[in-house]
Structure 1
Amino acid sequence: MSSAYSHTVEEAEEAGFMPTRRTVLVTQVKELAPSVIRLTFRDEFIANHVKPAQFVNLYSSNPMHLMPRPFGVSEVDGDEVSLIFAVVGYGTEEFSEFKAGDHVDVLGPLGKPFNTSKQADYLLVGGGLGIPPLLEAAQALQSAEGSRAIAVFGYRDEHFADTYAAKYADEVHSIDESEGNVLTLLERLWPSLRENGRETIILSCGPTPMMKAVAQWASKRGVDAQLSMEQRMGCGYGTCVACTIDTRAGREKVCEAGPVFTAHQLGWDE
């Protein structure tokens, strides 16, 4: 990394501001499952500052595609940052075709993260491509004294993230559609969690129906739940008003007030 960029990071840390959109080096692109890609790039600022559930914007090199694509960070290794995403359109298809040595423009980290400040058993409940931000949560919790991370993942078919979760989580439990869903796993785990006497907190990301069901399951058992919403975004920092959702306080921008909301904020605890 150039000394000029290192100097920028030091200045940003001292002044408390985030660097603007910048060009970074892609170091690895790997297919984890059909149309599921893990992309790694080098950026010292994001690596040093990102918190669980925060996201970064990636920008297409096509001038006709103005809007960035938001991706939750899945892992940090030194100054390298990894994202996991599905190929669903022209933007993600472009990123999936990158090779090591290519460059891409990024902005971030953005958004409000999970709150992992309490000493507790954290259930990281994810479905499909909602799982990546929970991998970063497991990584962060690994160094949190007095806390445990228990991954509870639901897949359509291939269990593409279990290997990464096992690097950081204390336990990894996963299931696919042929066996059940994340509620099936939560029911299996609940008796032992209740008996150990420790506080349990749910961190969840995935399809909205899944998260609503998880929030209601948690509410019935007196468990706090934080949900990372997966709305479509335009700008990623509160300007375009494309990602609003209904909350108890009214309409909120997911990119600015979230992506993390409590079950109570969303009215999902009833």
Structure 2
Amino acid sequence: MATFTPTADVVAEAVQAGYFPPRHTVEITDVTQLAPGVVRLAFHDPYIAAHAKPAQFVNLYTKDPMRLMPRPFGVSEIDGDEVSVIFAVVGEGTAEFARYQAGDTVDVLGPLGNPFKTKNPAHYLLVAGGLGVPPLVRAAQHLAADERSRTTAVVGYRDVRFADDVFARYADRTVSIDNAHGNVVTLLDRLEADGGLTVDGGLTVDGLETVILSCGPLPMMKAVAEWAAKRSLACQLSMEQRMGCGFGTCVLCTVDTVDGRLKVCADGPVFTREQLGWGE
């Protein structure tokens, strides 16, 4: 089955005219295994690099014509015109991406979805679990440029702590835990108890109110939302949901909210705990 792939000139013309660029081919610059079954893939794309905000994602398309649906991956880091994603190898599609090498090409579409809201100065508590790491790394990188805000990264892993060094490049403080020693809520309780977060009519750091940004497995995010609700903290959650198209057409990735069922790809992936009705 033939597919239309616009040339770089077509993409550039679309961008110059103010249109969202179509699916297009980019060059892969790096593929690295961070841990068993966990891969970082980077590619060259000036448009996505210039526009991707924390929690937005990109669609990557396999070269197998029988696999029509793309795979959505949260943007992790941006370095100049280079964009990186981090993913787990869980099926044939992601296994194909893991086999790529620098110099290979892949089709991409993005950035897609609605980002975390980070304009207001705050102490941003970045709570990540498992492969919920990428959106929080991007948030830490983005917030590192804001001198008014502070960031604490709280990360939970199954075993290998593959992203601590990455978070440490951007966050003011990085703490992590693996399954053998507890979970992220355990870690949040410890932080609160040892003064890592100062309770003063709400959790504050350097006079800044704490705002939680979180992504990870559903049970983890529900627990984080409940933890936030007990302390009356703002909490934004980037939902992980199986997607089809990634831009609101197929209605595969719906999630229950207080306003009915909404699409994670188009209405999210970021929702507040109030929107989801968690911890109320």
TM-score of the pair, normalised by structure 2: 0.92
Q: Distance in 1 between matches of 2:91 and 2:81?
A: 28
1:212 corresponds to which of 222, 234, 237: 222
1:221 corresponds to which of 209, 227, 231: 231
Matched, 1:193 2:203: no
Letter in 1 for 2:104: D
1:210-265 deviations in whole A, cap 9, x for unaligned?
00000000000011100000000000000000000100000100000000000000
Moved over 3 A (4+): 2-10
Tell me how many residue pairs correspond in the alignment: 266
Q: Please say if residues 40 and 82 of structure 1, whose CA atoms lie closer than 8 Å, have aligned partners that are also in contact.
A: yes
Q: Which residue of 1 aligns with 2:179?
A: 177
Q: Distance in 2 between matches of 1:8 and 1:58?
A: 22
Kindly tell me: are residues 151 and 133 of structure 1, through their superposed partners in 2, closer, same or farther at Cα, counting changes over 3 Å? Answer: same
Q: Which residue of 2 aligns with 1:261?
A: 271
Q: Which residue of 2 aligns with 1:55?
A: 57
Q: Distance in 2 between matches of 1:185 and 1:118?
A: 25
1:139 corresponds to which of 134, 138, 141: 141
1:241 corresponds to which of 251, 257, 264: 251
Q: Distance in 1 between matches of 2:12 and 2:249?
A: 29
Q: Distance in 2 between matches of 1:57 and 1:70?
A: 4
1:15-48 deviations in whole A, cap 9, x for unaligned?
2x31000000001000000010000000000000
Q: Which residue of 2 aligns with 1:164?
A: 166
Q: CA deviation at 1:192?
A: 3.6
Letter in 1 for 2:16: E
1:72-110 deviations in whole A, cap 9, x for unaligned?
000000000000000000000000000000000000000
CA RMSD of aligned residues (A): 1.5
Q: Distance in 1 between matches of 2:20 and 2:240?
A: 23
Secondary structure in 2 matching 1:41: strand
Letter in 2 for 1:232: R
Percent sequence identity is 63
Q: Distance in 1 between matches of 2:8 and 2:41?
A: 25
Q: Which residue of 1 aligns with 2:13?
A: 8
Q: Distance in 1 between matches of 2:8 and 2:275?
A: 44
Letter in 1 for 2:254: T
Kindly tell me: are residues 251 and 199 of structure 1, through their superposed partners in 2, closer, same or farther at Cα, counting changes over 3 Å? Answer: same
Secondary structure in 1 matching 2:266: helix
Secondary structure in 1 matching 2:103: coil
Q: Distance in 2 between matches of 1:240 and 1:194?
A: 45
Matched, 1:110 2:120: no
Q: Which runs of 5+ in 1 are unaligned?
A: none
Q: Which residue of 2 aligns with 1:40?
A: 42
